[in-house]
Amino acid sequence: MPELPDLEVVKDILAPRIVGQTVRGVEVNRVGLVRTRAEGVASLVGRELHAISRRGKYLAFSFGSDLHLLVHLMRWAWLWHGEHGYPPTTATDLRVAFEDGTDLRLIEARSPRLAAAWVVSDLNAAEPLQNLGSEPLLEAFTVDVLRGLVAGRRRPLKRVLTDQSLIAGIGNAYADEILFRARLSPVRYGHTLTAEEQEHLWRAIGDTLRWAIAEIRGRTGDDLFEREIRDFLSVHGRKGTPCPECGTPIAEILYDGARTNYCPRCQGGSGGIPPRGG
Ligand SMILES: [Zn+2]
């Protein structure tokens, strides 16, 4: 599933290609994709794309201040941009045709197809964005904000980091990377962190996300990608490979139905609850 770094790069690659373009046609090929009134997509025709922004794991395509297409790629969907004449596959859920002869397509080649889109007039009032937590790369996300989120929270750090209502945009992969960088166990409870550990965690969030954006961008150049680029990660998806810091094999636990990877040595100290399983 794309997370904040992936979506930031998608946004930055797409913006110079399609911002300023006028929509010439919209085609929705999957019932259930558009969660607002389905006929709302027709209102995009004739409108110029002014900006692309990201909020949490959502991308917003803004056609002026009063019309926005909001997209969530969920697990498998990705965005494609290219020539209109290029034959669409049956996996193409949404096709936005621009006057320059290109298409933006939302493609979901695996089942279940879960991606969702909304056409809204007021982005700030858009229902899916209402319960999102802090944006971790904004200046407003200070160490004190993070302290407020973890202090007193009797929940494992992995769950705190991936809770979209607390911090928006971090998923399974980058939560693991952040906790590795902070040298904190994923099963450590938020309320047990010392002030110093809170600061390490806060710093690791920003550093990890910025590092990932640069790594992904370095690999893609100006080309869109159809699955997340994760070859540079230190622990996530690296079960059994040596920890880049200490050489201990990276461990894996199934946690809330998702894989959690960590270094038992680097992330086991500081009075944390020792991770179990393997
Ligand atoms: Zn290690």
| pLDDT tens per residue across span 179-191 | 999 999 999 999 9
**Domain locations in the chain as residue ranges:** 4-129, 143-262
CATH code that applies to domain 4-129:
3.20.190.10
Eight-state DSSP code of residue 134 = B
Average pLDDT over every residue of 77-85: 97
pLDDT score of 277 more than 80: no
Spatial separation of the C-alpha atoms in residues 38 and 31, rounded to whole Å: 9
Q: How many A from CA of 255 to the centre of ligand 1?
A: 20
State in Å: Cα 138 to ligand 1 middle.
30
Nearest to 54 by CA among 118, 10, 117, 106: 10
* 3-state class percentages of the chain: helix first, strand second, coil last, to nearest 5: 30, 25, 45
DSSP 8-class letter at 3: -
- The confidence score (pLDDT) of residue 97 equals 98
> pLDDT at residue 263 above 50?
yes
143-262 fold: Helicase, Ruva Protein; domain 3 (1.10.8)
* 235 alpha carbon – ligand 1 mean position (Å): 9
Element (H, E) at 107: strand 102-107
Q: What is the mean predicted confidence (pLDDT) over 204-216?
A: 98
Q: At what angle do helices 4-18 and 195-220 cross, to 10 degrees?
A: 40
